[in-house]
Chains A and B, each alone.
Chain A
Amino acid sequence: MALSHLSSTRSNRLLRPLAAAASSLCRPISTSTEPLVIETSIPFTPHKCEPPSRSVETNPQELLTFFRDMATMRRMEIAADSLYKAKLIRGFCHLYDGQEAVCVGMEASINKKDCIITAYRDHCTFLGRGGTLLEIFSELMGRQGGCSKGKGGSMHFYKKESGFYGGHGIVGAQVPLGCGLAFAQKYNKDENVTFALYGDGAANQGQLFEALNISALWDLPIILVCENNHYGMGTAEWRAAKSPSYYKRGDYVPGLKVDGMDVLAVKQACKFAKEHVLKNGPIILEMDTYRYHGHSMSDPGSTYRTRDEISGVRQERDPIERVRKLVLGHDLATEKELKDIEKEIRKEVDEAIAKAKVSPMPEPSELFTNVYVKGFGTEVFHS
């Protein structure tokens, strides 16, 4: 029965030209770029600025790309969980599942000359910037084919040519660094911006306020994005911040609170923010999001929050499910087609893992390379 459905779909594809979404019983996945306007889940909450409209312009192709990208990220993180438990990934492993809409929505509104910098929960952000599954799994397993040749690990992914500057292990450090990237963009007179992502835990860091002050003084094109998943490791936001309205914490710097589980809201907010900072200096975006996993693989994630809360968010607000509903609701693809995409993704991820598993570890001589760009290698000490 499934087979006959498939073949009729295929023949339909041959007979009918690819057209805008039209209601029909049996129709191909839409790759149309006809505009579609969809409302965000909730309005934006502004701080010292005029919020953008809730109506987001998108198109079927974009929505399906969102679905595919987020589903890939989800699958990748779940696979990383298994690899960690199998001890193929060592040390720290901070997973992003639940938060996919933030990096996917952001990518939809920017280009590769805009810069992104984040902390250690960076696997999906790296993928969004053009990283490959193979590079990611190789790096996680410490192989030479990894994006940092196995020398960085989970927290240190970089892709400079696509404007991804890491991958940082020290909470909060990435924010001044991001302001520095924006400084360079302004110095070079690029018309590009930088997004510095940080969590609700990092939002209280002093260096953030120092860098924000300088950025506001110097009108740097920096967007601070607080990925508020409501827990800084095991500490809930209300226990860490006197004011958990992170979008307001910039005081004189405008802010916007965004439903971070709604990829269209994220896209709209980032587009708005980019336009804003090129004219007016810094802005803070607070993405209200959630992580299904604990802080890292060493944290079960259920000692400081209830399983009901976690499953509740999964039921009500899951970013992938939201897009699935949109796609099905607007008749842009069938359930089966979406499931096929997910199967394809699963296969891609499994293949990347299999390939990474058999790939070589770095050569021992690599221990001493890249300490410096110029000369000296390392000091040689007698053993």
Chain B
Amino acid sequence: MISAGVGGRQLGGDLAGAAVVVVVIPRRRSRSIQSTAAGEALRCGGGGIKNAWSLQGTRPAILASRSFSSAAKEMTVRDALNSAIDEEMSADPKVFLMGEEVGEYQGAYKITKGLLEKYGPDRVLDTPITEAGFTGIGVGAAYHGLKPIIEFMTFNFSMQAIDHIINSAAKSNYMSAGQISVPIVFRGPNGAAAGVGAQHSQCYASWFASCPGLKVLAPYSSEDARGLMKAAIRDPDPVVFLENELLYGESFPVSAEVLDSSFSLPIGKAKIEREGKDVTITAFSKMVGYALKAAEILSKEGISAEVINLRSIRPLDRATINNSVRKTNRLVTVEEGFPQHGIGAEICASVVEDSFEYLDAAIERIAGADVPMPYAANLERLAVPQVEDIVRAAKRTCYRSSSLAATA
């Protein structure tokens, strides 16, 4: 008997009506678990299995018996987002989804697949191609107490609606002294994709993150995607949720805790993806993957890099960043967007303000090239940070660079 996923029903057996939870191995193996040849097989029985409860954070209340799996559960970012939205829509009837192609088309990037069928056309609404109009309608619905999730096919199109995001959503709670709150989520892919050209490749993190009243989140892994999306939907404030098209198909391991429907991540907390002691590398979204690869390369050259996945651009987790820099004394900020007035600029300012005397080297800022995104593949590659750029910058902070080549 095989079932998978949280809450699947076991067929037969005497379970006393318990839901079955797939026990998965977290990324760091902390216990040995019996394996079967069939991979994800479940075993249930009244005998109980020793230490099955030791999985951190899992506390399914009604579990009479449990089963476990040997293989790590992996989930794509796409599925992570889909499941998070699904679970929150199921839990709260006020949550609804609106955007272009989110319904019948199953989502331009299939993030909202299956939701129209499950929740119906009253809660999953396909809109015409009129961002200003439907974003305003979404914000108005939030004023009245509903909890909209507004999708922008990409954040480039959010510029058509940006007045509603900033002036109608972000500022309302303040201007009304708390009377009109706006529990809305604006989500969609942000930043560069592949070969889509200048009008479809901009990163809007710094534009939105500069505005008080907004919360701005940028997930990297599937755990981030699930936890931050759930937090965003539950949050009573307007949240800009910056996804990345190229990450949608990537798989990451997820623990049972992450898969639980009550899972969420705190807004405003960064995650230390990799601990290190020589240099701090901050990144968000796709660049976290690049930073981790850079850290691998650096470790072979004797440089131990600490990689911080920002997760939350506004509020920025200044405490985690500064504590890390105070430990390593060196900082490289990485982002895909334009350099001027970018996220790196803010992190740089924060570290200079709070931890200046701890810096042993100038801060290095890695960002996209200060040009509209070109189309040609070679130029596009030059316009976006690559792993080598991060490695070179980290070495420079360690005074180990071999040349004085500029970053761009």
Contacts and interface: CB of A to CB of B under 8 A. Distances in A.
Interface string A236-270: 00000000000000000000000000000000000
A17 interface: no
B110 to A, nearest CB: 24
26 contacts: A115-B144, A148-B175, A148-B177, A152-B176, A152-B177, A156-B175, A160-B176, A165-B143, A170-B167, A173-B164, A176-B164, A177-B143, A180-B141, A180-B143, A181-B141, A183-B146, A207-B133, A210-B128, A210-B130, A214-B127, A214-B128, A214-B137, A372-B173, A372-B237, A373-B183, A373-B236
A381 B19 CA distance: 49
A180 B212 contact: no
B159 to A, nearest CB: 14
Q: How large is the interface on A (under 10, 10 to 19, 20 to 34, 35 or more residues)?
A: 35 or more
Interface in A265-281: none
A371 B174 contact: yes
Given A180-B142, A187-B146, A372-B215, A213 B133 contact: yes
Given A173-B136, A210-B134, A370-B174, A183 B164 contact: no
Nearest to B93: A187
A376 B177 contact: no
Interface residues of B, number: 49
Interface string A179-200: 1111111011000000000000
A176 B136 contact: yes
A213 B128 CA distance: 9
A158 interface: yes
A176 B133 contact: yes
Interface in B167-186: 167-168, 172-181, 183
Contacts of A374: 235-237
A46 to B, nearest CB: 26
B173 A151 contact: no
B285 to A, nearest CB: 21
Contacts, number: 161
A152 B180 CA distance: 12
Contact of B96 (A117, A185, A187): A187
Interface in A105-126: 115, 117
Interface in B141-167: 141-146, 163-164, 167
Contacts of B177: 148-152, 369-370
B301 interface: no
A329 interface: no
Interface in A329-353: none
B180 A166 contact: yes
Listed from nearest, the 10 A-B pairs whose CB atoms lie closest are A180-B140, A176-B136, A210-B133, A184-B144, A210-B130, A149-B177, A177-B140, A373-B236, A180-B137, A207-B132
Contacts of A151: 174-175, 177
Contact of B141 (A166, A173, A184, A381): A184
A347 to B, nearest CB: 29
A297 to B, nearest CB: 20
Nearest to B169: A177
Contacts of B143: 160, 165, 177, 180-181, 184
B133 A214 contact: yes
B206 to A, nearest CB: 14
B139 interface: yes
Nearest to B177: A149
Interface in A121-174: 148-152, 156, 158-160, 165-170, 173
A183 B127 CA distance: 13
Contacts of A115: 144
B337 interface: no
Interface string B68-80: 0000000000000
B357 interface: no
A369 B176 CA distance: 11
Contact of A152 (B132, B168, B175): B175
A217 interface: yes
A183 B176 contact: no
A176 B268 contact: no
Contacts of B82: none
Given A180-B143, A184-B145, A210-B136, 16 more contacts: A115-B144, A149-B177, A159-B179, A170-B163, A173-B164, A173-B168, A184-B140, A184-B144, A187-B96, A187-B141, A209-B133, A211-B136, A213-B133, A215-B137, A373-B178, A374-B236
Contact of B140 (A152, A179, A213, A371): A179
